[in-house]
Amino acid sequence: MMDASQVAQVTEMMYALRNPAGVPTFPIIFMGLGVLTFALHILFVQIMLGTSAITIFGSFSQSPYWRRLAAAMLEIAKVSVSVAIVVGVAPLLFVQVVYDPHWYTSNVLSADWVIGFIIILIFAYWAMYFYYFTNGKNKDKTAQPKARWSMMLSLALMLVVGFIMHSLTSQMLHPELWKEWYLQNGVLDYSGSQLHAYNPWRFAFFISMAIPVTGAMLVTYRRFKMVREDADMGYLNWAADLGKTWIKVGSVIATVLYLAWMMTLPETAGSFATSFWGIIGGVMVLFFAIWAQVRLQGEAKFCSYMALPVALVIGLIVATSREMLRYSILNDFFHYDFMDYKIVMDWYSTGLFFLTFAIVGGSTLAYYLTIAWKAGQTVGVYTPSPAVNRMGTIALWIMILWVIQFFVAGIWTWVQ
């Protein structure tokens, strides 16, 4: 264990690495948004992993139900990758605002992997599309798919990029080892060719959450499709039953892995595992199984739709625990407090973001998702009601006004 002066040196280094430009509003806001967007990101990552796994399993199964489910889940996997990437940009942004010393150091020390991440992810995604284009035109969804290797390759590569990200996040939590990692056998290592830290239990926990989350997806899938005139209830009920099992079994597996993660925390985490946030994460994961057992009985129409929001809330609590672990190591042990970051307040850009997020994002996505939702439930061409049309017109005007304000503010500043 380190003595006080070694800890002080590490703390001093972290403070020195802070960006002198400071942050444009209270750091806690970035932290809050970071947790929220991470929870959304990891939810889509888990859906993507789970639906990919179903696609692969279904492609090897002889059962027509599995084959159909595999084809349907491939569509969800494809969209989930996109959403996971786009939503993942936000936590990536916020973490480097308040934890820049940690994120940047961790990245530079494993730079080859950071660059590899981009290339591997592109190929993982293209491999999924290759599988899709090879089989997407099959009218018969129960036929045996071709090029199954590409879907397996896609999932394997996705797990590799997940592991890289896991490792970079783990390295952030070990500022006491950064200088050691930089100096390998007495010689400075500028290559960035190694991943230096990981915790297999932590990685396995986040991956295993794909099981209950995808279970929730399957339950929702049945609920969404059952209102269509051409719904095959035998198939949909089978998929939902599978989903319920996955929620229950998956949550138990994830809870065990969570416990293993908590038991293997570094010494610098102190007694985090037995603290409120350490315990509540695991309890909430297990709670998902209990919730499914109690609330997803029989038809359970409303609760079918609740399965994914419940998964998101659980994900949010786990994301908060994860953040509290980071805070606990860096603040409690190393006395590095992200809250005392220098603030150079900028009300305009802070306000503009929140207004854009709530009003532009809210109105447009509400319109988009309403259309997507209704079109998915309609056989043939969907023609929206006047109320839905009005939603679109309002969203359009809001967006036009946004662009106008962008130029008005800009030209006003320019001519000053």
Interface with other proteins by CB under 8 A: which range of 25-33, 200-208, 244-252, 315-323? 25-33
Q: Which of residues 285-314 bind other proteins (CB under 8 A)?
A: none
Q: Is there a contact between 128 and 78 (Cβ–Cβ < 8 Å)?
A: yes
Residue 2 in contact with other proteins, rule: CB under 8 A: no
Interface with other proteins by CB under 8 A: which range of 104-112, 217-225, 262-270, 321-329? 104-112
Residue 159 or 360: which CB sits closer to other proteins?
Answer: 360
List of residues 6+ apart from 214 with CB closer than 8 A = 46, 47, 49, 50, 51, 53, 54, 243, 246, 250
Q: Which of residues 129-168 bind other proteins (CB under 8 A)?
A: 129
Q: Is there a contact between 150 and 130 (Cβ–Cβ < 8 Å)?
A: yes
Q: By CB under 8 A, name the one of 146, 301, 335, 342 that touches other proteins.
A: 342
Residue 241 or 337: which CB sits closer to other proteins?
Answer: 337
Q: Taking the CB of residue 118, how many other CB atoms lie within 10 A of it?
A: 10
Q: Taking the CB of residue 79, how many other CB atoms lie within 10 A of it?
A: 14
Q: Which of residues 37-96 bind other proteins (CB under 8 A)?
A: 79, 82-83, 85-90, 92-94, 96
Cα angle 153-44-308, degrees, rounded to a multiple of 5: 130
Token pair recorded at residue 258: 């969570």
Least CB distance to other proteins at residue 237 (A): 26
Residue 107 in contact with other proteins, rule: CB under 8 A: yes
Residue 86 or 143: which CB sits closer to other proteins?
Answer: 86
Three-class SS state of 110: coil
Residue 373 in contact with other proteins, rule: CB under 8 A: no
Residue 233 or 369: which CB sits closer to other proteins?
Answer: 369
Residue 369 in contact with other proteins, rule: CB under 8 A: yes
Q: By CB under 8 A, name the one of 6, 63, 118, 340 that touches other proteins.
A: 118
Q: By CB under 8 A, name the one of 149, 283, 361, 373 that touches other proteins.
A: 361
Token pair recorded at residue 254: 């994830």
Least CB distance to other proteins at residue 35 (A): 15
CA distances from 223 to 141, 244, 301, 379 (A): 20, 13, 7, 16
Q: Which of residues 378-407 bind other proteins (CB under 8 A)?
A: 378, 381-384, 389, 392-393, 395-396, 399-400, 402-403, 406
Alpha helices in 61-182 (DSSP H): 64-98, 100-109, 111-135, 148-172, 178-182
Residue 111 in contact with other proteins, rule: CB under 8 A: yes
Q: Is there a contact between 77 and 28 (Cβ–Cβ < 8 Å)?
A: no
Residue 65 or 382: which CB sits closer to other proteins?
Answer: 382
Q: Is there a contact between 147 and 130 (Cβ–Cβ < 8 Å)?
A: yes
Residue 18 in contact with other proteins, rule: CB under 8 A: yes
Residue 118 or 290: which CB sits closer to other proteins?
Answer: 118
With tokens 């023609």, the residue in question is 383
Q: Is there a contact between 169 and 206 (Cβ–Cβ < 8 Å)?
A: no
Residue 125 in contact with other proteins, rule: CB under 8 A: yes
Residue 339 in contact with other proteins, rule: CB under 8 A: no
Residue 28 in contact with other proteins, rule: CB under 8 A: no
Least CB distance to other proteins at residue 408 (A): 11
How many residues are given for the chain?
416
Residues in contact with other proteins, counted by CB under 8 A, come to a total of: 97
CA distances from 64 to 142, 152, 214, 234, 397 (A): 5, 20, 20, 12, 47
Q: Is there a contact between 391 and 370 (Cβ–Cβ < 8 Å)?
A: yes
Cα 141 from chain centre: 30
Least CB distance to other proteins at residue 28 (A): 14
Least CB distance to other proteins at residue 144 (A): 24
Interface with other proteins by CB under 8 A: which range of 204-212, 243-251, 264-272, 369-377? 369-377
Three-class SS state of 329: helix
Residue 5 in contact with other proteins, rule: CB under 8 A: no
Residue 337 φ/ψ region, left for φ over 0, alpha for ψ in the -120 to 50 degree band, beta for the rest = beta
Q: Which of residues 184-203 bind other proteins (CB under 8 A)?
A: 186-188, 190-192
Residue 13 or 280: which CB sits closer to other proteins?
Answer: 13
Q: By CB under 8 A, name the one of 28, 63, 115, 227 that touches other proteins.
A: 115
